[in-house]
Amino acid sequence: MAAWCDEMSAIRRRRRTGATVGRCYNSRPGATAPRRRPLRRPTRLTEKEIGVTPDQYCQDKAAKSGSSFYYSALRLPPERRQALTALQAWRIELDAIVHENHDAGVALQRLDWWRAELRRLYDGQGAHPVSQALRPSLDLLPQAEMTQVLDGSEMDLAQSRYIDEAALAKYSRAVGGTFGRLSARVLGCSDPQTLAAAEKLGLSQLRIRILREMGSDARQGRIYIPVDTLQRFEVPAADIMQSRHAEPFVAMMRDQAAQARALYREALDTLPRADRRALRALLALAAIHHALLDEIEASQFQVLTQRIALTPMRKLWLAWKTWLRNR
């Protein structure tokens, strides 16, 4: 309880100093044609060279105060929090390759580096701070599943559109579903059915992130909603690319939101009671995501020109309620 109260006080202090959290605007140019460059094998970085410990690096990367992940994982035991934070930092490193590289050739180069780094990690020779932070929990993380997440990132680089729901589902399983399973493994689930429920939680959260980032993704030339869905709702891709908000777009987004909520309900219905306590961090993160979805829908899906976010105080409140509910 003390940790929750400390965080509430910290949020109030930030408010008094004028810090703001809310909606912001993003714009990114499109990517160029992919071109791979030769890779150089890195040397292992020391704490002195990077200036922080591997765990501190991951904390700064993935769990900054005020973030949804930070509040969700706040009450985890230290070793579980460290492992989950390292895994989240790894995912963010991969996301940055896709969304922050304007040169597709550089993005492919970086992804190739991470493929080689993953192999080095399982050989006990990982050089990156995130790899070093992941090492203590490596026995819980199947290399095949980690590779699937990398494969999903490569799909992101290889294509900017998905022809139908089956194609999007393949990508979503690799990036969202598999990451949900990995997170459940790190948190110590005991029932095999928990992995299936965690996969649905991951899929649901990915769907919500796709809806929230619709505008910024479009400015990068990406539309994750399948082509056949756009056609079914009579939403031209050009409308999304040019930030034109119209009723057919709202109807399509309502349908997408309903799919995210259905996955969430399925996850909650199938999650074994015995593992609810262990997965409180994932459940809290899911609750925050779905509160965000409610806000997005309340705005009539005004996501093409703005990024909707929850305040830190509301994230803290949602995480606290979820932890209490699943004691």
292-307 pLDDT, tens digit per residue, is: 999 999 999 999 999 9
Determine how many CB atoms are found less than 10 A away from the CB of residue 214.
Answer: 24
What was the pLDDT predicted at 129?
97
Average pLDDT over residues 44-57: 71
Average pLDDT over residues 42-59: 71
Q: Are 104 and 31 in contact (CB under 8 A)?
A: yes
Confidence of residue 281 (pLDDT cuts 50, 70, 90): very high
Confidence of residue 327 (pLDDT cuts 50, 70, 90): confident
- Rounded distance between C-alpha atoms, residue 305 and residue 303, angstroms: 6
Structural domains of the chain, ranges and CATH numbers in brackets: 51-325 (1.10.600.10)
Residues 6 or more apart from 235 whose CB is under 8 A from it? 225, 246, 248, 249, 252
Phi-psi label, residue 51: left if phi above 0, alpha if psi -120 to 50, beta otherwise = left
- Rounded distance between C-alpha atoms, residue 55 and residue 53, angstroms: 5
What was the pLDDT predicted at 154?
94
Q: Are 282 and 184 in contact (CB under 8 A)?
A: yes
Specify the amino acid at residue 104.
Answer: A
What was the pLDDT predicted at 25?
32
DSSP state of 140: G
Average pLDDT over residues 131-157: 96
- 235-266 in b/e burial notation, b at 16+ Cβ within 10 A? beeebbeeeebeeebbebbeebbeebbebbeb
More reliable by pLDDT, 159 or 256: 256
Asked if residue 47 has pLDDT above 60, the reply is no
Asked if residue 2 has pLDDT above 90, the reply is no
What was the pLDDT predicted at 33?
38
Average pLDDT over residues 10-32: 46
Determine how many CB atoms are found less than 10 A away from the CB of residue 124.
Answer: 8
- Residue with tokens 């490569």, as numbered in its chain: 154
CA distances from residue 137 to 134, 142, 187, 201 in whole angstroms, order as listed: 6, 10, 10, 21
- Rounded distance between C-alpha atoms, residue 254 and residue 31, angstroms: 29
- Rounded distance between C-alpha atoms, residue 107 and residue 105, angstroms: 5
Q: In percent, how much of the chain has pLDDT > 90?
A: 80
What was the pLDDT predicted at 24?
36
Which residues are paired to 307 by β-bridges? 24
* Secondary structure tally for the chain: helices H, strands E: 17, 0
- Rounded distance between C-alpha atoms, residue 224 and residue 241, angstroms: 12
Question: 168-178 pLDDT, tens per residue?
Answer: 999 999 999 99
What was the pLDDT predicted at 18?
53
Angle formed at CA 26 by CA 25 and CA 32, multiple of 5 degrees: 165
What was the pLDDT predicted at 87?
98
What was the pLDDT predicted at 38?
47
Specify the amino acid at residue 60.
Answer: D
Question: 205-261 pLDDT, tens per residue?
Answer: 999 999 999 999 999 999 999 999 999 999 999 999 999 999 999 999 999 999 999
Query: Which candidate, 154, 197, 209, 200, places its Cα nearest to that of 173?
Result: 200
Which residues are paired to 24 by β-bridges? 307
Question: 82-131 pLDDT, tens per residue?
Answer: 999 999 999 999 999 998 877 888 999 999 999 999 999 999 999 999 99
Q: Are 58 and 129 in contact (CB under 8 A)?
A: yes
CA distances from residue 114 to 41, 172, 196, 253, 322 in whole angstroms, order as listed: 11, 20, 27, 34, 35
What was the pLDDT predicted at 8?
57
More reliable by pLDDT, 73 or 12: 73
Query: Which candidate, 188, 209, 203, places its Cα nearest to that of 280?
Result: 188
Question: 180-220 pLDDT, tens per residue?
Answer: 999 999 999 989 999 999 999 999 999 999 999 999 999 99
What was the pLDDT predicted at 16?
60
Q: In percent, how much of the chain has pLDDT > 70?
A: 85
